[in-house]
Amino acid sequence: MSEFVSALGFGVVTAAILAISAVGFTLQFSVTNVFNLAFGSVMTISGFVAYWLNQLGLDIWLAMGVAALCGGLLSLAINELIYGPFIRHGLNLFGMVIVTISVGLIADHSLQAVVGPSFFSYNAPAGKAVNLAGFVLTRQELIIIGIAIVLTGLVQVALQRTRTGRAMRGLSVNPALARGCGVPVRRVIAIAWFVSGVLAAVGGVALFLDISTFTATTGSEFLIVIIAAAVLGGVGSPRGAILGALVVGIVTEVGAAYWNPELKDVLAFGVLIVVLLVRPQGLFSQLATERALAR
Amino acid sequence: MSAATQYYIATILVFICVDVIASWGLDIQFGVTGVLNFAYILFQAFGAYVAAVLSLGSSSANGGFQHYLVGLTLPFPLPILGAMLAGAGLAALVGLITLRRLRSDYQAMVMLVISVVATIVVTSSIGLFNGSAGLSLIPNPAFTWGSFSRQTQTWFFVGFCVACMLVVGLFMYALVYSPFGRLLRGVRENEAGIEAMGRSATRARLQVFVIGGALAALSGALLAEFIGAWAPSEWLYPETFVFFTAVIVGGRGSVSGVALGAALVGVGVQQAVQYLPIGSDPTVLAAMEWIITGLLTLAFLWVRPQGLLPERRRRLSRRTRPEMNATALEKAIGT
């Protein structure tokens, strides 16, 4: 029983990290329909920004804040300088997937050429362990869970209550109509990329804290799990992404406790494939039609 | 010519044959039909594995230092044919799961996921595939051909690879110019139109999935028999991207173009990197290969999306309106 509870605790931490990243991934996708496979690279590069600041003596949570800003700007820059021009150049949805893979590979390997193949870790104490109704979590893990709740909650509220949030939802349902109603499309898309980058950076730093050692490709390797969570919830639905993150996080950690830990990701993907066979549009998405790129 | 130079040239030639065959297989799927198979490398790896276990003999041989399934010693062309059959079978299985019900953008994602899962399963199950160590001592069939020197026998194997490439090339031309090839281009350019004419786009996709799977397996089998080893770390999912780049650089749907692209991207980039003034740190060199591959893809998608040797645009006849075809094609590929 205690084994199950502690596995559940790990699962919630993994789910929190996944939720931050998956919401960022899916929010951007719902607005622009660009399946951004360079998302993991934004996570890694921001994670390394936090690492360098941390090495200079900055507290890891402050470093995470600065990295979040960098991640947002990086994500925005990638869209303004590469994706945007390619979309306006007339590339279709699948062409854009290839473009995002290229950008991801270039970014990852440029970073690798700079930092080398070695392992890195932050200089941050995990903090005292806290016992919460049977869950034993470190202070660090509790902060990560808190950040996840606050950030995903903020995104939800912003999507429902603010003008920009409504414009994003409008763009994701019907870009032409949204444009016709006077939504400043380019600005809203830019905001979506920025927010996505911020969430990627926070998710990246949280991930690196959680798994304690990382390399130049850790973010891109984790991206597959993020995609599994996002697709599970229905790509383009932030609420679905949170649920998908919970399912994937808990299934993988509980699976790791009772089965082969090396195969824990296989379980997540198994869940994903079964869900997609039963419900091809994901758990929450209503849209099952082909969608066009928002320009 | 010294033995080392000869071996170098033979290796380059075999790699070119392997990359060209594999790129053609992907071209049928991605270039001609428009199926985005991000798990493509999986079929090459599977072909290599099957060819290995069909020629290695029982796994207790050599002191049983490596574990694998089956373990037969079949005579020469059978391991390769078996690999092709197995590749086609695996492709049919994956295709049946992914191609029938899923939306096409989900299909691409699920392929990516399958490719990653396969690597995890292979590296963590030692009994099945000998884990991350992979297989070694895979016999080269040419080393049993007559009583010649190893060098001559290596050249025999090069000849065999070139012959395979030529046969696959002829097959590609026959396929692309056949009515079936027309159907495939139809699926790429106007799926609804194909369905309206009573043909099943899903069925066509499944068919190219199987054909491509067999070709990928063939290329993997040739590679494994030449280098004599098989390890899952050589077949990670980004490797698929090299073939995508080859197809894009060469020209989607163009048989000769893709062959050129495969030679340039698969082998050319790797060789060229060694002459760059960036030192000889293996990490930097490997990183540079990927960076150049990525930049090549971006550059071609921007400047010349039709590739070096573009697919020839087919027109119905001079009396129909030819501009209809050209614009429809452009719209469909998104150039």
Please work out, in degrees rounded to the nearest 5, the angle formed at the alpha carbon of residue A22 by the alpha carbons of A21 and A25. Answer: 90
pLDDT class for A288, splitting at 50, 70, 90? very low
Contact A266, B120 (CB under 8 A): yes
Residue B313 predicted with pLDDT over 80: no
Buried b (16+ CB within 10 A) or exposed e, B95-134: beebbeebbebbbbbbbbbbbbbbbbbbbbeeeebbbebb
Contact B229, B135 (CB under 8 A): yes
Query: Among partner residues A86, A231, A263, which is closest to B106 by beta-carbon distance?
Result: A231
ipTM above 0.85, yes or no: yes
Residue A280 predicted with pLDDT over 80: no
**Digit-coded pLDDT (tens) for B98-117:** 887 777 777 887 888 888 88
Query: What is the predicted pLDDT for the residue at B335?
Result: 45
Query: What is the predicted pLDDT for the residue at B258?
Result: 96
* CB proximity under 8 Å: A 86-115 to B: 86, 89-95, 97-99, 101-103, 105-106, 108-110, 112-113
Residue A246 CA to residue B307 CA, distance in Å, equals 44
Residue A222's closest chain B neighbor by CA?
A: B116
**Digit-coded pLDDT (tens) for B10-30:** 999 999 999 999 999 999 999
pLDDT class for B290, splitting at 50, 70, 90? very high
**What tokens does B5 get?**
């130079």
**Digit-coded pLDDT (tens) for B39-98:** 999 999 999 999 998 988 776 666 666 777 777 777 888 999 999 999 999 999 999 888
Q: Do A103 and B298 touch (CB under 8 A)?
A: yes
Residue A62 predicted with pLDDT over 60: yes
Average pLDDT over every residue of A219-225: 89
Query: What is the predicted pLDDT for the residue at A289?
Result: 44
Instruction: Please give the single-letter amino acid code of residue B86.
Output: A
DSSP letter (8 states) at residue B100: T
Q: Do A98 and B301 touch (CB under 8 A)?
A: yes
pLDDT class for B317, splitting at 50, 70, 90? low
Give helix A39-55 / helix A185-211 axis angle, nearest 10°: 60
Q: Do A227 and B297 touch (CB under 8 A)?
A: no
* CB proximity under 8 Å: A 123-182 to B: none
HSE-up of residue B35 (Cα within 13 Å, Cβ side):
33
Residue B174 CA to residue B187 CA, distance in Å, equals 18
pLDDT class for B183, splitting at 50, 70, 90? very high
Residue B325 predicted with pLDDT over 80: no
Q: Do A99 and B298 touch (CB under 8 A)?
A: yes
Contact A253, A56 (CB under 8 A): no
Dihedral, CA atoms, B112, B296, A35, A178, nearest 10 degrees? -160
Contact A4, A254 (CB under 8 A): yes
In 3D space, the residue among A112, A110, A91 whose CA is nearest the CA of residue A35 turns out to be A91
In 3D space, the residue among A230, A234, A206 whose CA is nearest the CA of residue A218 turns out to be A206
pLDDT class for B161, splitting at 50, 70, 90? very high
Residue B77 CA to residue B120 CA, distance in Å, equals 31
Average pLDDT over every residue of B149-159: 90
**Average pLDDT of every residue of chain B:** 86
Query: What is the predicted pLDDT for the residue at A197?
Result: 97
Query: What are the chain A neighbours of B334 within 8 Å (beta carbons)?
Result: 90-92, 94-95
Residue B323 predicted with pLDDT over 70: no
* B93 CB within 8 Å of a chain A CB: no
Average pLDDT over every residue of B116-140: 78
**Digit-coded pLDDT (tens) for A132-157:** 776 778 889 999 999 999 999 999 99
Buried b (16+ CB within 10 A) or exposed e, B167-193: ebbeebeebbeeeebebbbbbbbbbee
Residue B264 CA to residue B245 CA, distance in Å, equals 10
Average pLDDT over every residue of B137-151: 82
Contact B27, B211 (CB under 8 A): no
Query: What is the predicted pLDDT for the residue at A287?
Result: 47
**Digit-coded pLDDT (tens) for A163-173:** 999 999 888 88
Residue A86 predicted with pLDDT over 70: yes
Q: Which residue has the higher pLDDT, A80 or B130?
A: A80
Average pLDDT over every residue of A175-198: 92
Query: What are the chain A neighbours of B121 within 8 Å (beta carbons)?
Result: 263, 266
Residue B120: phi and psi, rounded to 5, are -65, -45
* A49 CB within 8 Å of a chain B CB: no
Residue B126 predicted with pLDDT over 80: no
Query: What is the predicted pLDDT for the residue at B286?
Result: 87
**Average pLDDT of every residue of chain A:** 88
Residue B152 CA to residue A148 CA, distance in Å, equals 64
Residue A71 predicted with pLDDT over 80: yes
Token pair 């709740």 is at which residue? A149
Query: What is the predicted pLDDT for the residue at A281?
Result: 65
Query: Among partner residues B102, B124, B298, which is closest to A280 by beta-carbon distance?
Result: B102
Query: What is the predicted pLDDT for the residue at A285?
Result: 53
Average pLDDT over every residue of A10-39: 92
Residue B27 CA to residue A215 CA, distance in Å, equals 34
Query: Among partner residues B34, B112, B241, which is closest to A105 by beta-carbon distance?
Result: B241
In 3D space, the residue among B177, B192, B179, B173 whose CA is nearest the CA of residue B332 turns out to be B192
- How far is the alpha carbon of A218 from chain B, nearest alpha carbon, in Å? 14
Suggest the residue from A106, A119, A264, A291 to mutate for an interface test with chain B (most B CBs closer than 10 A): A106
Query: What is the predicted pLDDT for the residue at B333?
Result: 55
